[in-house]
Structure 1
Amino acid sequence: MDIRFEQAGATFGDRVAVEPLTLSLTERRIAIIGLNGSGKTTFARMINGLVRPTTGHVTINGLDTVGDGEDVRSQVGFIFQNPQNQIILPILREDIALGLKTRRLPVAVVDDAVEAILARFGIEHLAARRAHELSGGELQLAALASVLVTEPEIVILDEPTNQLDLRNRAQVETTLRLLDESVLVISHDLALIEDFDRALMFHEGRLAADGTPCEVIAEYRKIAAP
């Protein structure tokens, strides 16, 4: 994984969401933390082109997120804060297959890939279920399966443990730990990211801390304290 920001920033009208910054991200597991409205989600969305930089540029493995947008999105999967909104088709198996079918792959290839990803996450028993029938943890796994079946190198997750009970949270945490793909996680769940390789903290639109999770969490607690 080679993510590079070159004086890249983002504004929405008169509001600066992310101040221009230059940095390189190569670690396998990176956490992104900060208060609500700090710019962390905008920063993450700049990585796969969901938000275009208004200054500078962002590259993923040498590909520009604006000029090479389609290729970038094939390498970077994004799982939104509410995974239920990400599942488009009513039946889970059909939804997982959708990303492959848009590539016009042979039916047998699609079927094999879907079966393999269901088995990888141990959710074969959910294949015929509807999204509204799934628990919070099952929805996260379903969203992961739908993204990872297309084999991105990098996956970004926005608050993957938000509103999960302890059992589902533990299930998602274990799954993230075992992923082979490079992972960036936006989270307020500090325990989830304690063993990550690197952490970034955003505050009022700027990168305010960058280091080990222990170091960055300590800085975050200072600004989060009432």
Structure 2
Amino acid sequence: MNISGMKAMVLAAGLGTRMRPITDTIPKPLVKVAGRTLLDRALDALEEAGVGSAVVNVHHLGDQVVAHCAARAHPRIVVSDERERLLDSAGGIVKALPLLGSAPILLLNADTFWIDSDRSSLASLAGGWDASRMDMLLMLVPVGDTTGHGSKTDFVIDADGRLARAKGDPTGLVYAGAAIIDPAIFAGVTPEPHSLNLYFDRAIEKGRLYGQVMDGHWITVGTPGAIGEAEAAIRMRQPAPA
């Protein structure tokens, strides 16, 4: 699939409670790591992959996120406003569907990012999409290629790329907060608060949840203490020019 024609959604409406006290005054997507906001790191990845349009949802301290998005030229951003009611991951997508259309959606979390080893991981993900077999294609990463995550795994993958829940299996992989989703899975669903995990499980039951392992290092920033760890990981993999 050609990524340049895709629309993306960045989930940026969370409360960021584990990041307090920083998030008492700054929404988590605008927390800076090595001088760049988490939201901009997600949008940078989209821009570098050639995505021209993105929807960003907002809730906690949403005015700040709206203003930040307005100051950015690329990708073109449309805001999905959840300031009155937080809808969780799946509910937020459902509310934004009129802005996203019926083609497969590229989904990113605003509180994780990665450093690609070579080619854009998002472009590679798009290249792996097969609508005939898949309802969702998740970007995955080995635990050893993460910073800030710990040892928990999310999914195990078979030889064909089909996923099942890891259920504590230490050989499993971590969901890297990026996915391609067929919006048809939300047919008839209303924008009520609910989690994307429900759709992961439904797709597993149908044999239509697939994964692709990224080539790079993935970073999650969940607490104030994780900022320093993330910055150290960036320095290690992106040394300053001489």
TM-score, length basis structure 1: 0.27
- Give the structure with higher Rg (CA): 1
Between Structure 1 and Structure 2, the one with more helix by share is 1
Query: Normalized against structure 2, the TM-score is what?
Result: 0.26
